[in-house]
Amino acid sequence: MGFSSRWELVLAGVLLWGGVATAQDKSSGVTVLVNDSAGVKPSVLRRAEREAARLFDAAGIEIQWVNCAETEECRRILGPNEFVLHIVPAGHTASDFVFGEAFLGEDGRGQYSDVFFERLKQEQGDVNLALLLGAVSAHELGHLLLGSNSHSRIGIMEPRWQEDSVQKIGKGMLLFTQEQGELMRKRIQREEDLSVRVRAASKLTRVDY
Closer CB to Zn ion, 183 or 195, in the complex:
183
Decide if residue 132 touches Zn ion (CB under 5 A). Answer: no
Single-letter residue type at 31: T
Residue 193 burial (CB count, 10 A): 11
Closer CB to Zn ion, 113 or 195, in the complex:
113
Nearest-CB residue to Zn ion? 11
Say how many residues touch Zn ion, by CB under 5 A: 2
Report the candidate in 205, 203, 199, 209 with the shortest Cα–Cα distance to residue 79.
199
Could you tell me the CA-to-CA distances from 93 to 84, 96, 150 in Å, in that order? 19, 8, 20
Q: Which of 2, 6, 7, 11 binds Zn ion (CB under 5 A)?
A: 11
Decide if residue 130 touches Zn ion (CB under 5 A). Answer: no
Closer CB to Zn ion, 45 or 157, in the complex:
157
User: Which of the stretches 10-18, 60-68, 73-81, 127-135 binds Zn ion when contact is defined by CB under 5 A?
Assistant: 10-18
User: Which of the stretches 9-17, 63-71, 88-96, 187-195 binds Zn ion when contact is defined by CB under 5 A?
Assistant: 9-17
Spatial contact of 87 and 36, defined as CB atoms under 8 Å apart = yes
Angle between helical axes of 129-146 and 42-58 (0-180°, round to 10) = 50
Q: How far is the CB of 162 from Zn ion (least distance, A)?
A: 14
Q: How far is the CB of 4 from Zn ion (least distance, A)?
A: 17
Binding residues (CB under 5 A) for Zn ion: these are: 9, 11
